[in-house]
Structure 1
Amino acid sequence: MELLPRLRRFARVLRTRDADAQDLVQQTVERALASRSKFKAGTRLDSWAFTIMRRLAIDEGRSILRWGKVVRAEDETTVLIADAGQADEALKVDAMAVREAIHALPDDQRQAVALVLIEGFSYAEAAEVLGVPAGTLTSRLVRGRQSLIQTLAEKGVTG
């Protein structure tokens, strides 16, 4: 249960639509529970769950490409909004700009940024989740950070 908020955040990075992100979290939890006998004691549960989520997202993406159709819970006129909260309007606008900037990143950079900068994974842990060498993760993260800094500066979003 403690892992659910982190899974939701990562799902929102992998899926632009909230309904799709919620579905991804549900699928991840179902897969993790069904495969719990494969979890190795002494390893990190969060890394294992994030790996499951990433693989499900990849599989779903391939399926969508293969079949050429997407079912969307939201239509094109639905405005993407920041998570409900007590933030004032300026903070909500900034949060939406950050979300849009993150979603504009290429998949590999977006996933690296989400795992390291948002979820707090170490470089080695994030590299393991993504199935890439640590050096590859580092270069993706650097490019992602640079792109975010530039995009957000252009939109007037400050620290």
Structure 2
Amino acid sequence: MNQTIENILPMLRRFAYSLTGNSADADDLVQTSLEKMLTKPVPTGVEVTKWAFKVCRNVWIDEYRAQKVRQNATRKPELQEQQSIDESSNFEQKELLLQVNQAMSQLPDEQRAILALVAVQGMSYKDVARSMEIPLGTVMSRLSRARSTLLTLIKPQQIGAEL
């Protein structure tokens, strides 16, 4: 099992980053997920990769809800992380990434997880449906709603300039 976990670790980290939008939080999420995976056996008949994504998503949902409560208490500008970038192209890319992360944070948990699995991890709709234990049509409709919402939340001129 350790060999398999080592093989899926990069994918799990990318998935965690797509959920959190932050490298430090992604590392914490992966660590917590690995702790849970190492203390519980893989369910019989379940592919380890799908199980790992499911554990990670469930840990993220738990932590995300707790973090929302803490963030509401610390919404002061002086407590927010500030970034300064010298190069304009890097700034524009990071600005677009920030907009995408902010837009993704506004999506419902189910839509964000599906979007991350399909767009970031490259999983097929069928695999997402199996790993999340939901119908294929539900995956497709949530993904469609997530994409539509993202397009309305991100500034249209930014999208056109980057494509």
Structure 2 CA distance, aligned partners of 1:143 and 1:80? Answer: 31
Matched, 1:149 2:154: no
**Alpha-carbon contact 2:18-2:120 (below 8 Å) kept:** no
What's 2:119 paired with? 117
Aligned with residue 77 of structure 1, among 75, 80, 84: 80
- Letter of the structure 1 residue corresponding to residue 145 of structure 2: R
**How far has the Cα of 1:132 moved from its partner?**
1.7
| Alignment pair present for 1:27 and 2:29 | no
After superposition, the C-alpha distances for 1:10-51 in whole angstroms (9 at most, x for unaligned) are: 22333355433322110111222223x43557x533211001
- 1:117, CA displacement in angstroms? 1.1
Is the Cα contact below 8 Å between 1:15 and 1:21 reproduced in 2? yes
Q: Which amino acid aligns with 1:131?
A: E
The answer to whether the 8 A contact 1:97-1:155 is kept is: no
Amino acid at match of 1:118: V
Structure 2 spans left out of the alignment, 5+ residues: 1-5
Identity among equivalent positions (%) equals 33
Aligned partner of 2:42 among 38, 56, 63: 38
Point out the structure with the larger helix share: 2
**Structure 2 length-normalised TM:** 0.71
Q: Is the 8 A contact 1:113 1:141 kept in 2?
A: yes
Q: Is the radius of gyration larger for structure 1 or structure 2?
A: 2
SS in 1 for 2:50: helix
Q: Please state whether the residue corresponding to 2:79 is helix, strand or coil.
A: coil
Aligned length: 147
Q: Which runs of 5+ in 1 are unaligned?
A: 82-86
Whole-Å separation in 1 of the counterparts to 2:141 and 2:16: 22
Check conservation: 2:115, 2:143, Cα contact below 8 A: yes
2:136 aligns to what? 134
Alignment correspondent of 2:55: 52
- Residues 79 and 7 of structure 1: is their aligned pair in 2 closer, same or farther, counting only changes over 3 Å? farther
Relative to structure 1, is the Cα distance of residues 140 and 80 closer, same or farther in structure 2, using a 3 angstrom cutoff? farther
Contact 2:61–2:109 under 8 Å retained in 1: no
Report the Cα distance in structure 2 between the residues aligned to 1:21 and 1:80, rounded to whole angstroms: 19
| 1:103 partner letter | S
